[in-house]
Structure 1
């Protein structure tokens, strides 16, 4: 898998991957989320590509205090082959190069298999609860 920066020509494949991986929600327009990311730190929006096909994504950000990871996905048919580990390692490398001391991820309630996977990658619950408030409605 070759890891590279997202290109606008990847949009359809990326959105299809997010749907296949179960990352999309009706209240988040994935096309608008891509447009927003391209306005802020687009270099932290990565895709994993094999034979011209997008098979993984990682959208990260750094606010000067913490890094965040979103839309982290690998094609469900290809999971378990190290692609996710490689994408995550590249995100971590880029954030460390920016001076980022900690990377936070959010996992939806009830997704114990994903929590277990993050634990294997060295992540642990840090005693903080994720809260959110929609400021701009999509759609």
Structure 2
């Protein structure tokens, strides 16, 4: 296991966190990652957690809840550091954050084509849900994959 120092994102971290998300292929043209960070930081029901090793940001996870279910997004590990247990450590921090908030169920989304991510989450005890996710853009855009 890793010895990450995990804490909420600071203002000075935003650029490095967005760069990590881009390096990990997590960003999409229709989502502004800086706006996602700002939104997550607005209230007590969400946070962006940053994992540091020797001062460098090497892992992240965005976590939030609606009071009933927790969600996690932007789980990222520096591609040069993958396979070292950093993702597992970040997910443990996410689960701990939700437990402290009194939330007992965590859900996450994985793109169908991302078998590597699905396999990772299954090693942590996550199972594919029988629910079907439906989506609608409220700004008039067409649905995207």
TM-score range, shorter chain: over 0.9
Task: Give the superposition deviation at 1:41.
Answer: 3.0
Count of aligned pairs: 137
Tell me the residue number matched to 2:113: 110
Of the three residues 7, 10, 15, the one matched with 1:7 is: 10
Tell me the residue number matched to 1:61: 64
TM-score by length of 1: 0.92
TM-score by length of 2: 0.89
Q: Does 1:83 align with 2:86?
A: yes
Tell me the secondary structure at the aligned position of residue 84 of structure 1.
Answer: helix
Task: Give the superposition deviation at 1:40.
Answer: 2.6
4+ aligned runs moved over 4 Å, structure 1: none
Q: Structure 2: how far apart are the matches of 1:14 and 1:81?
A: 19
- C-alpha RMSD of the superposition: 1.5
Task: Give the superposition deviation at 1:42.
Answer: 7.0
Tell me the secondary structure at the aligned position of residue 31 of structure 1.
Answer: helix
Higher helix share: 1
Q: Does 1:36 align with 2:60?
A: no
Single out whichever of 39-48 and 93-102 deviates more from structure 2.
39-48
Tell me the secondary structure at the aligned position of residue 104 of structure 2.
Answer: coil
Q: Structure 1: how far apart are the matches of 2:89 and 2:120?
A: 13
Task: Give the superposition deviation at 1:33.
Answer: 0.9
- Structure 2 gap segments, 5+ residues each: 141-145
